[in-house]
Chains A and B, each alone.
Chain A
């Protein structure tokens, strides 16, 4: 049987077994990856994983089962498992899904340079070239590691309401670590880029020049960096920093399943409650959105893994908590509508509420204009260490590339600027957003149990925070 027939069979059979709702998701993930470590390709890795996951709502409970043996008998067994375990589950209050219209669609992401048309040796050579250029800089660089991953995802989704959605989503990812040393002093950087599309990603990322510039700034920090000033002052952050703040301090706390406690044990809860909608969390220049439909951002999609049409979600709007990320289950629980935020990493995981491409909406300032109005402060372009508590209230971002600002001018590099602020302090201090939105920065967003590290875009423009405590 083809995957289409197997999905159709699974959905039909689940209903005959008594499921009130059933969905089946076939996914095929073809991947190609390699690590270039200190100039050596460790191993070229190919993944070819395909299977079907079936989720049912039966007796008011959810059951999920999956297989990568694509036969009718195996799919039947998976459906039997899912329906049996759902029916056997005892819940006080039944799980409900909000209604959604049936959708029949077929979408795909265009590739200017198709991933499978670019030989692996050519891809490797591009990174080896970058590595050679790095070595030609003659810096003391004892460790360099580039990780290149291409993924082509074919998906076919069907549910008992009649939705049938096919998609093709190619994704390119590059992340790297550089270690530079001067005597016993070390400067390390980590950058992570993502792209939905083909191998044109390397050009779009301006990869070579960006990597070399990263190395230059590390070396500059080692040679000329001084301790970052301590005290209250202004802070101008670059797009990667605005992006991680948007992800950690807005995207995560507005996930409805987190708000409702479904992820409480692992990914945690949220300082935001269902009653927080309409409350102020930031200044009126702060609008943070999550938008799966941004072309070529790493987490691009048109329909989520429950067959719901994706759209831009205004999570914080002009400083107000405006909207949660919702799937059909959380929408029913909060008397809302799904906004198409349900995603899984592969066929072998349940789909849950996830961010996609989360970013601070740009304003109309140039970075230079923002900096020119700062009497004394820090311009923190990138970061290295970061973390945030499980209620998403206490975040920390430590500068990697950062500079002192005095009298509106960028001065020399400062090292390890520590921004350790509460979420309302971060967003409440923003008085200007730049016109330089960048959506190339990517992350591996962790959530769920078993863990689902999912592609996420961490985007933003340059952003200015007034009078915050730095050290």
Chain B
């Protein structure tokens, strides 16, 4: 596949492209979906796709090549299309290579897995032991090879492999819990623990009562905190800022969170999102997006960096920069200390459907799901249901009072799209609303 990437770039330059990028992705992933405590389908992928980006001056075009026997014809068609598009004055070229990358390494034991049923069973059994009646979710063995070549000297190969299990355990329709397990090494993969966590929350969430609207101190479990971190990462892309889809416009150097909050993007971390280069071939590096509560940087590629008079953060997307692996810096609280700090508040364990009324102000709401618990004097006193977190993204982060010491790697369908290291956190006086009957 390396030769295909090389051929695409050479052919593009030969035919008149000023800049060219080719990335071939070979996907050999495997998944077991399960529901009602048993597998419902096994999915497998055998796909090889070439993504191509070409610039003729500042006329830009992107395309796909799946038939590698027709590279010259496809390039010719794309270049013809590029010439017909208006110039993009914001385009500032590609990062200048060559670059050096760390050698890819994956756990061969992960790649050897071709049957996920034991892991599903371990998770389901864990949840059932805690009292769950019904479990659903998925087990993934990811396996992707990436080959990148640019006309500006970048050339690299990356192999990305890992294991993931997501389980939702239900005691009843309104009493549920969620757990996830993420690992790049088989020895560190713990679906049983994810199952137990999901089951434990589900059992604790039995007989929930309708919640009461108001302002509450809230302990965020890693899964829901991951969603809030994900929002910061996504809204910090320079592209979303320019598109009016971020509350971080004109906030660089300003306080956007409590002093204890440092949120970083770092795909060099051993995680499901680990990668070695961005879409321009720039080596991945760590950068704090928010440091001690202050917005330090947007996420940039070469073009957005030039627009903002800075340098690339190694987060290309050729057009739209993006986060790869996010983390919230751990604090110095234990989980129990966070709970004990709450005199009268809530513990939220998961959420979904985060939507904005105004991206530029950050006014949003999100719907907690799975266990929602009332805490009084540090103890869970009852389970709730049917409430909504309605607040402002920056206000939520400014309201953080404490962060636990131990982060967990989480990622979850839709809400935590980027693998994220999230501890527990406590925030004060967060808005809770509910439906009128």
Contact = CB atoms under 8 A, between A and B. Distances in A.
B154 to A, nearest CB: 19
Nearest to A266: B413
Interface of B: 31-33, 35-36, 38-49, 53, 60-66, 74, 77-78, 81-82, 84-86, 88-90, 115, 117, 134, 136-138, 166-168, 170, 173-174, 178, 242-245, 318-320, 352-361, 363-367, 369, 386, 388, 413-414, 433-437
Contacts of A45: 61-63
Contacts of A425: 435-437
Contact of B388 (A66, A67, A387): A387
Given A263-B35, A394-B435, 15 more contacts: A37-B243, A38-B242, A43-B61, A45-B62, A47-B63, A67-B47, A68-B46, A69-B46, A77-B46, A120-B85, A177-B243, A177-B359, A188-B358, A260-B36, A384-B356
Nearest to B387: A394
Contact of A68 (B33, B47, B84): B47
A161 interface: no
B243 A143 contact: yes
Contacts of A81: 44, 46
A41 interface: yes
Interface in A126-158: 128, 142-145
A67 B45 CA distance: 6
A145 B64 contact: no
B270 to A, nearest CB: 23
Given A66-B45, A265-B168, A451 B53 contact: no
Interface stretch (A88-96, A314-322, A364-372): A88-96
Contacts of B44: 63-66, 78, 81-82, 85
Interface stretch (A195-203, A298-306, A416-424): A416-424
B36 to A, nearest CB: 5
Interface string A22-53: 00000000000011011011111111111100
A387 B42 contact: no
Contact of A62 (B40, B74, B367): B40
B303 to A, nearest CB: 10
A260 B90 CA distance: 50
A60 to B, nearest CB: 11
14 contacts: A42-B319, A43-B318, A48-B66, A119-B84, A121-B84, A177-B244, A186-B361, A265-B413, A385-B356, A389-B353, A391-B173, A416-B357, A446-B414, A449-B166
Given A179-B360, A389-B369, A420-B433, A449 B46 contact: no
Contacts of B434: 394, 420
A74 interface: yes
Given A37-B242, A43-B60, A46-B62, A89 B386 contact: no
A44 B61 contact: yes
A121 B85 contact: yes
Contact of B136 (A43, A51, A264): A264
A396 interface: yes
A186 B66 contact: no
Among B63, B134, B353, max chain A CB count under 10 A is at B353
A394 B210 CA distance: 11
Contacts of A49: 49, 64, 66
Q: Which 4 A-B pairs have the closest CB atoms?
A: A143-B244, A469-B436, A179-B244, A387-B353
A176 to B, nearest CB: 11
Contacts of B386: 389, 393-394
Given A66-B47, A177-B245, A394-B388, A384 B88 contact: no
Nearest to A85: B42
Interface string A71-101: 0001001100110011011111101000000
Contacts of B388: 387, 394, 396, 420
A45 B41 CA distance: 33
B64 A48 contact: yes
A187 B357 CA distance: 9
Contacts of A325: none
Contact of B66 (A50, A264, A269): A50
Among A47, A74, A188, A350, max chain B CB count under 10 A is at A188
B178 to A, nearest CB: 8
A271 interface: yes
Contacts of A294: none
A40 B90 contact: yes
A78 B40 CA distance: 19
Contacts of B360: 143, 179, 181, 186, 188
A46 B48 contact: no
B18 to A, nearest CB: 14
Contacts of B243: 37-38, 143, 145, 177
Nearest to B47: A68
Contacts of A50: 66
Given A48-B66, A268-B369, A385-B364, A422 B319 contact: no
A348 B367 contact: no
Contacts of B33: 449
Given A387-B354, A393-B386, A395-B435, A62 B42 contact: yes
A22 B166 CA distance: 29
B244 A265 contact: no
A44 B82 contact: yes
A183 interface: no
A264 B66 CA distance: 35
A265 B137 contact: yes
B360 to A, nearest CB: 5
A261 interface: yes
A25 B65 CA distance: 21
A422 B33 CA distance: 31
A159 interface: no
Nearest to B52: A46
A262 B37 CA distance: 10
A44 B62 contact: yes
Contact of B43 (A40, A64, A422): A64
A124 interface: yes
Nearest to B361: A186
B78 A421 contact: no
